Amino acid sequence: MKKVLYSILIAGLLFSCGSKEGQQDLGATEFQTAMAGESGAQILDVRTIDEFQNGHIEGAVNADVSSPAFAQIAGELAKDKTVYVYCLSGARSSSAAGMLKEMGFKSIVNLTGGMLAWQSANLPIATGESKTPASVGLTEASFTEKIKGKPMVIIDYNATWCGPCKQLSPILKDWVKAQNGKVELIEIDVDENQELAKSKKIESIPYLEMYKNGVKTWSSVGLIGKEELDKSLR
């Protein structure tokens, strides 16, 4: 009876959170619950090998969505079973989900917010043996020390693979330059500073923060323009 109720619960989660035909988008906790309810769940990590080895979901297969080998690796999975796919923030896995559907997969579950959301929910992470653990980089304490004594600083949380981050970068740099030294820009790669990203519960990038004398006064998620940036000075 418990197994029947559990199956109904999982089905309800997948149905209620589904946003596209053949694809469901679930938050971190629901994603973990759905995987746990399926024996031998197929989990696909579509990030780079370095990202994967720095920290991934236990049991995941790595297939970099930007690599020519993606189709070959993903093609070895069973098309008649659900594939649980994720990346760092959800952007690459959404693209991968589309590719999987074209390959004939009928049931795909995408992790909304990716590993950033997974880490924010304090869910378990497995690491590769040959790489430095994901805890490297800035910590909350070292970040605080980094901005200490600075009158005004804007923090740009980004990643090298993030398209919107690349679009925002020149806008941000031009805006900072126009402030004539009043604002300092600090760029932080979330891949290289995952412990800090986890402590700040960053689930989407680009993500900006403004600090005045060490106190956060403003934050913004996503691609923005000069007008929105001007509001950070108020």
**Which residues carry out catalysis?**
162, 165
Domains and CATH numbers, the chain: 2-120 (3.40.250.10), 140-231 (3.40.30.10)
Task: Supply the pTM of this predicted model.
Answer: 0.61
Question: What does the pLDDT profile of the chain (234 residues) look like in tens digits?
Answer: 444 334 434 444 443 444 456 799 999 999 999 999 988 899 999 999 889 988 999 999 999 999 888 988 998 899 999 999 999 999 999 999 999 999 999 999 999 999 999 999 999 999 864 333 344 578 898 999 999 999 999 999 999 889 999 999 999 999 999 999 999 999 999 888 888 988 899 989 999 999 999 999 999 999 999 999 998 887
- Residue 198 has a pLDDT of 87
Q: How far apart are CA 56 and CA 42, in angstroms?
A: 14
Q: How far is CA 138 from CA 2, 153, 215, 230, in A?
A: 45, 17, 18, 28
Own/partner long-range contacts of 217-223 (Cβ < 8 Å, ≥24 apart):
222/164, 223/164, 223/167, 223/168
Number of other CB atoms surrounding residue 212 within 10 Å? 16
- Residue 13 has a pLDDT of 42
Segment holding 84, helix H or strand E: strand 83-86
